Chains A and B, each alone.
Chain A
C-alpha cells in the first residue's frame, strides 16, 4: 500500500470581502508518487488550492494532512522546506546566479559546500543544462525555457517528496513546452516525486497527470484518470470543458491501454506495434500507414502485452 502524501478534508478557503469561497469543501487524497494535475479555467481556485498546501494561504475551514500530519501542527518554515515550489516564469531570484538559485534551500539547510556544489552539478545535468555554460549565468541571461528548467532544478534541490508547480510552463512557446513536459515526465518516472501541477491547458493536464482534478468555481468537479474523465465525465461542466464528445479530442487524450485487448492472435513481426502510453491519435496514424486490421501493443520493456483492432478503435467515435 502506498502512503497518502497529501489529503484534503473538507477544505474551504474564503478571502475577506469575497462573496463566495475561492475553494469550497474539497476532500481528496493524493498518493505518494502520483502526478496530479489541477485543471480549470482562470479564477477556478487552482492556485488557492495549491497555496494552502504550502501554507502560503491559511485554510478557512477543514484540514490538510501531509503524510498523515495536520499541516497546521507543523512548524511552518521547516515544513515548507520539505516541499518543492515552482511558479510561472520560474520565480528565479534575479540577483543570484543559476548555481546560487539552485542552492537556496540546501544553503538554508546548512549543507556543506562540497555537498551543495555536487548537488548543483547533478541537478543541472538532470534538467539537461551544461554546468560549465550555465552555472554562473544570471537568470536574465537565460531563455524562458531554461529559466523553467532551473526553477525545477531549484525546487528539487533538497529532494522533497512533494512538488507544487503553478502553471510552470504557462508562458513558454508550444515546442519548448512539449520538451519540458516530456522531461518532467521522465524525471517524475525516475524519481517518483508526488507532483501537484496546476494548468489551464487541457492537453497538458491530460498528458502529464496520472489523475486530474477538474475545478470550477472553487469546487472539485471530478478527480479521476484522464481516460475516465474523457469517457465518463462526472457532469455537464466537465463534459463540456474537456470536449468529451469531440472525437479528435478523445483521440488526443486517450491512451492505447484504455482500449487494448488481450492477445488473441499469433504475434507476427509484420504487424505494427504501438506503445501502451501512446495516444489513440498516434494509433490511428499507425493504422492508416500500415493498413492492417490489428496493431500490437508493447509495454515499457518492449514486451508485447496486447492488441487493438481497427474495430475497437473506430468504436471510440460512436
Chain B
C-alpha cells in the first residue's frame, strides 16, 4: 500500500511538473528562445576565438620545441583550475557582463584545442614530411596537402572537447552576467522552481549533445582513411 502511495505521489509530481514546464514555456517562449540564442552565441564566439588562438599557436609550438614545453605547461596548469574559479576570478579583473564571461570561456576552450593541435602536428611521421620534400613539394604545399589534413582529426578532437566544455560552462557564466540558459537555471535555484532547473539543464545538455553530433560527423568524414 505504502509503495503504491509513493508511486502515486511521484506520478502526481511528474504531471504537475510537466504542467508547470508547459505553462512556463508558453508564457515565456520569447525569453526562453532568447536565452538559448544568447547561450549558443557566447559558446560559439568563445569556441571560435579559441580556435583562432589555439590552432595557430599550436602549429607554432609544434615547430618550436622549447616554446612548446613552456606553453603546454602553462595551459595544462590552467586546466586544473575549475571553470567556476576562472569565471569568478574574472570579476575582480574585468567586472561582470558579457565580455569577461566571453574571455573566461575562451580561456577554458583554448587548452584542449592547443594541446591537440600540437599533438596532431608533432605526431606526423618525419619520413612523410621528408618524402613530400623529396618529391618536390614546397613548404606551403607540404603544409596544406600533408600536414594540415593529417593533423586535422586530432585538432577536431580538441574542438569537440572544447565545445562541450564551453557550452556547459556557459551556464555558469550567467553567474557573472553572460545571460543565456544559466539565467533560467539560477532563477530556478533562487526561487526553488524545479521546472526552471529542468528546462535549463535539459537545454544545455541538448546543446552539448548537438555540438558533439555535428563535430563527430565532421570528424568521421575526415578520418575515413583511417578505417577499412
> Which residues of A approach B to under 8 Å, CB–CB?
51, 54, 56, 77-83, 85, 87, 89, 91, 93-97, 104-105, 108, 138, 140-141, 154-155, 164
Q: Would A140 and B228 count as touching, CB distance under 8 A?
A: yes
Residues of B within 8 A of A51 (CB): 134
CA distance A77 to B134 in the complex (A): 8
Residues of A within 8 A of B150 (CB): 93-95
Q: Would A138 and B136 count as touching, CB distance under 8 A?
A: no
> Which residues of B approach A to under 8 Å, CB–CB?
127-128, 130-138, 141, 145-146, 149-150, 224-226, 228
Q: Would A108 and B127 count as touching, CB distance under 8 A?
A: no
Residues of A within 8 A of B149 (CB): 95
Q: Would A87 and B127 count as touching, CB distance under 8 A?
A: yes
Q: A87 → chain B, closest Cβ, in Å?
A: 6
CA distance A105 to B135 in the complex (A): 7
Q: Would A56 and B136 count as touching, CB distance under 8 A?
A: no
Evaluate whether A140 and B133 lie within 8 angstroms (CB atoms) in the complex, with A77-B138, A91-B128, A93-B128 already known.
Answer: no
Residues of A within 8 A of B145 (CB): 93, 104
10 A-B pairs in the complex with CB atoms less than 8 angstroms apart: A51-B134, A54-B134, A78-B136, A80-B136, A87-B127, A87-B134, A97-B225, A104-B135, A138-B224, A140-B225
Q: Would B134 and A56 count as touching, CB distance under 8 A?
A: yes
Q: Would A85 and B135 count as touching, CB distance under 8 A?
A: yes
Q: Would B134 and A80 count as touching, CB distance under 8 A?
A: yes
Q: Is the interface of B mostly helix, strand, loop or mixed?
A: helix
Q: Would A56 and B130 count as touching, CB distance under 8 A?
A: yes
Q: Would B131 and A108 count as touching, CB distance under 8 A?
A: no
Apart from the given pairs A93-B150, A95-B150, 6 other A-B contacts in the complex at a CB distance below 8 Å:
A80-B133, A80-B134, A82-B136, A83-B134, A87-B134, A94-B128
CA distance A154 to B131 in the complex (A): 11
Q: Which residue of A lies closest to B139 (CB)?
A: A77
CA distance A54 to B131 in the complex (A): 11
Residues of A within 8 A of B146 (CB): 93
Cβ-neighbour of B131 out of A77, A91, A97 (below 8 A) = A91
Evaluate whether A85 and B225 lie within 8 angstroms (CB atoms) in the complex, with A94-B150, A95-B150, A108-B141 already known.
Answer: no
Q: Would B135 and A87 count as touching, CB distance under 8 A?
A: no
Q: Would A81 and B135 count as touching, CB distance under 8 A?
A: yes
CA distance A87 to B149 in the complex (A): 21
Q: Which residue of B lies closest to A56 (CB)?
A: B134
CA distance A166 to B141 in the complex (A): 23
Residues of A within 8 A of B132 (CB): 93
Residues of B within 8 A of A96 (CB): 225
| Top 10 closest pairs, chain A to chain B, by CB | A81-B136, A91-B131, A80-B136, A85-B134, A138-B225, A95-B149, A95-B225, A77-B138, A54-B134, A77-B136
Q: Which residue of A lies closest to B222 (CB)?
A: A95
CA distance A141 to B224 in the complex (A): 12
Q: Which residue of A lies closest to B127 (CB)?
A: A91
Q: Would B137 and A108 count as touching, CB distance under 8 A?
A: yes
Q: B157 → chain A, closest Cβ, in Å?
A: 16
CA distance A155 to B132 in the complex (A): 11
Residues of A within 8 A of B134 (CB): 51, 54, 56, 80, 83, 85, 87, 164
CA distance A299 to B5 in the complex (A): 103
Cβ-neighbour of A94 out of B136, B138, B225, B228 (below 8 A) = B225
Q: B150 → chain A, closest Cβ, in Å?
A: 6
Cβ-neighbour of B136 out of A87, A93, A108, A140 (below 8 A) = A108
CA distance A89 to B224 in the complex (A): 21
Residues of A within 8 A of B135 (CB): 80-81, 85, 104-105, 154-155
Q: A116 → chain B, closest Cβ, in Å?
A: 15
Q: B85 → chain A, closest Cβ, in Å?
A: 40
Q: Which residue of A lies closest to B223 (CB)?
A: A95
Q: Would B131 and A87 count as touching, CB distance under 8 A?
A: yes
Q: Which residue of B lies closest to A87 (CB)?
A: B131
Q: B203 → chain A, closest Cβ, in Å?
A: 37
Residues of B within 8 A of A77 (CB): 136-138
Residues of B within 8 A of A155 (CB): 135
CA distance A95 to B132 in the complex (A): 13
Residues of A within 8 A of B224 (CB): 138
Q: Which residue of B lies closest to A138 (CB)?
A: B225
CA distance A234 to B94 in the complex (A): 81
CA distance A95 to B152 in the complex (A): 11
Q: B102 → chain A, closest Cβ, in Å?
A: 35
Q: A168 → chain B, closest Cβ, in Å?
A: 12
CA distance A95 to B134 in the complex (A): 18
Residues of B within 8 A of A94 (CB): 128, 150, 225-226
